Structure 1
């Protein structure tokens, strides 16, 4: 990987699509620093999946503060001396708020977001992983994380639609949209190598990758 071209890569996508695993594999394979979400630290998350209306706001606010603190810690280091791979894009954070909060809660969240939103560096590349909601649900069930046991396919469908809308308009950084329905870059090295090759060969601002292209 030419990290002179891609000093800062973000891997994004809905829960279950494999963004954290891919970010880790990219970072470990190419010696980059990792900046990862820490959902296990959110004390409201399990309750949110059981009762989203009641626990959406505290869940969302915890994640907002957590991500902002991570980015602020990063800003205190010499960011440009080391390559970085992350599994979250702070600009995407409001899509969860719009999906789960009522009007008054969303207004409160948006005020906090606008006030606290850090001047995060713009990624050199965003990799957006997509898969069908049924596929995501199957992967979530197979990994058997207790906090995720109450995630519904309906929630995943709405989440995937929100991601699609967000990235349809996203133009802040080069974007590689990857169909991860059948791609398995974590367990199949040939898939990982194909993805890396596609990243290396990117020429446009927005490109698509389906297995077999």
Structure 2
């Protein structure tokens, strides 16, 4: 039986995950799953004082993403309907390792493992990355009030965390194709040619995914 395509797009804050997910969702006519961000009541406080508000922020994200994936599995994947998401739930571990104190991280990790042990896993990853200057410029352009207090030093650390995570992901999950897109060289929002190149890459990988287990 062929696998149902489940694509996840990942990368640091402001890199363009949602914009790309929307465009690919329309092109391939598959369901779009968008993560809940601005609805998090702790996020503004988090960017003002990371240490004070990190646990509350990460727990909100974890619980909401768990519920979203649970619904996606029931309503779409189990009914042979493809999905593209602008996040991978494992991003919770990327952020929590960076922001939580050791004692709280231990508690958080236990909850994370319990909630995600039987969650659906993407069978394709798209990883967007760019320089710090490019990411800061895009954050400024989209103008979310809650993101204006993000410290460049925190963002730089987070970007390195993502790079380390994706390098490890490709080693641990060789069966899951990863498409890497350099945001310094690619602007799929303003340039149709860039978008079409990404679509071609995704199309080739999708053919491999749907052929799996046939």
Query: Quick check: TM above 0.5?
Result: yes
Structure 2 partner of 1:125? 124
User: Matched residue pairs, number?
Assistant: 201
Whether the 8 Å CA contact 1:137–1:152 is kept in 2: the answer is no
Structure 1 partner of 2:202? 199
Gaps of 5+ in 2: 209-214
Structure 2 partner of 1:57? 55
Whether the 8 Å CA contact 1:68–1:118 is kept in 2: the answer is no
Whether the 8 Å CA contact 1:71–1:118 is kept in 2: the answer is no
Q: How does 1:1-213 map to 2 (within 5 A)?
A: 7-79=5-77, 80-171=79-170, 172=173, 173-202=176-205
Whether the 8 Å CA contact 1:16–1:140 is kept in 2: the answer is yes
Note the C-alpha offset of 1:202. 5.0
What root-mean-square deviation, in Å, do the aligned CA atoms of Structure 1 and Structure 2 show?
1.9
Q: Secondary structure of 2:63's match?
A: helix
Note the C-alpha offset of 1:161. 0.6
Going from structure 1 to structure 2, the CA distance change for 1:146 and 1:27 (only over 3 Å counts) comes to same
Bigger drift between 129-138 and 77-86 goes to 77-86
Q: Structure 2: how far apart are the matches of 1:31 and 1:156?
A: 33
Going from structure 1 to structure 2, the CA distance change for 1:6 and 1:197 (only over 3 Å counts) comes to farther
The runs of 4+ residues in structure 1 deviating greater than 2 Å are 198-203
Whether the 8 Å CA contact 2:31–2:84 is kept in 1: the answer is yes
Note the C-alpha offset of 1:5. 7.7
Gaps of 5+ in 1: 206-213
Whether the 8 Å CA contact 1:9–1:127 is kept in 2: the answer is yes
Whether the 8 Å CA contact 1:35–1:87 is kept in 2: the answer is yes
Normalised by the length of structure 2, the TM-score is 0.88
Whether the 8 Å CA contact 1:9–1:86 is kept in 2: the answer is yes
Q: Structure 1: how far apart are the matches of 2:21 and 2:199?
A: 12
Give CA-to-partner distance per residue, 1:33-90, whole Å, 9 cap, x none. Answer: 0111110110000110111010011000000001001011112224142111101111
Query: More helix per residue: 1 or 2?
Result: 2
